[in-house]
Structure 1
Amino acid sequence: MLSKTSRLIAEVEPTINLIYPIFGDVKPPVSSIPEDPLVAIPKLVGTGINLFLLLAGVMVLIYLLWGAYDWIVSGGNKEAIVKAQNKIMNAVIGIVVVVAAITIFTVVTGNILGIINFSDGWKFNIPHL
């Protein structure tokens, strides 16, 4: 009796699993980095550039707010006001440096190297055989 039941289960189980998959369809995980190196390298570099710009902007904003706070709490102390003004000036210089770096990068990569920034990322024309 047990062998008949085992045979019946062995015959019916594949059919049941095809009709009613217990855990659903198994699919590989979706990756944001393509497998093709000609697509993956530019995407990685573009993500690095975007991350750098985000980090630079946040750091400039923090430094600017820090200088403004120091100015507010200086209490009229000339030395503290000068330090706060220097922090604010350095933050503004930082903004100018970041904007200049973006401009130089865009001119050099776009006009000279042929690298283009699309809405979905950077497109690099990497020379290959």
Structure 2
Amino acid sequence: MNKLSKLALSIGSVPAWAFTTGIVLAAESVKVNPPKYSVVSVGALLSGLVSAAIIIAAILAFVYLVWGGLNWLTSGGDKTKTEEAQKRITSAIIGLAIVAASWALIQLIANVFGLNFQEGITIPEIQTNK
């Protein structure tokens, strides 16, 4: 057999191996409960994302506030460093105020529409006939 026919035979046998099956040892279907902290609905996912975003924003604003305070302490009386630290502290306080206001607005909207972000938002589903 020449090299070309060996190559054609080996390339041609690859699809044949792809369609062969071995012995399948299948078990009966087993019911698996969802994990304890899994997302079971879009509303629960949205609720978790909103809560996580507010917590992360508050932590970042607090870290920025501490960073500004440390910059002020280490400015050594330099006017430009002190002003920069004061701007950073002011920005952090404004950021905390925005986070607090957004949390209050979300709670107000939730109360008006009867939603509960701690338990997850219930989103109406379309009923289908089966």
TM-score range (shorter-chain normalised) is 0.5 to 0.7
1:82 aligns with 83
- With normalisation by structure 1, the TM-score equals 0.65
Q: Stretches of 4+ moved more than 6 A in 1?
A: none
Give the distance between the partners of 2:96 and 2:88, measured in 1 at CA: 12
Counterpart residue identity of residue 43, structure 1: A
Q: Are residues 1:102 and 2:103 paired?
A: yes
Q: What is the RMSD computed on CA atoms of the aligned residues?
A: 2.1
Aligned to 1:117, the other structure's residue is in SS state: coil
1:65 aligns with 66
- With normalisation by structure 2, the TM-score equals 0.64
Percent identity over the alignment? Answer: 24
Quick one: higher RCO (CA 8 Å, sep 6+), 1 or 2?
2
- Structure 2 unmatched ranges of 5 or more: 1-29
Give the distance between the partners of 1:61 and 1:79, measured in 2 at CA: 23
- How many residue pairs match? The answer is 96
More helix per residue: 1
- Structure 1 unmatched ranges of 5 or more: 1-25, 35-39
Q: Are residues 1:30 and 2:34 paired?
A: yes
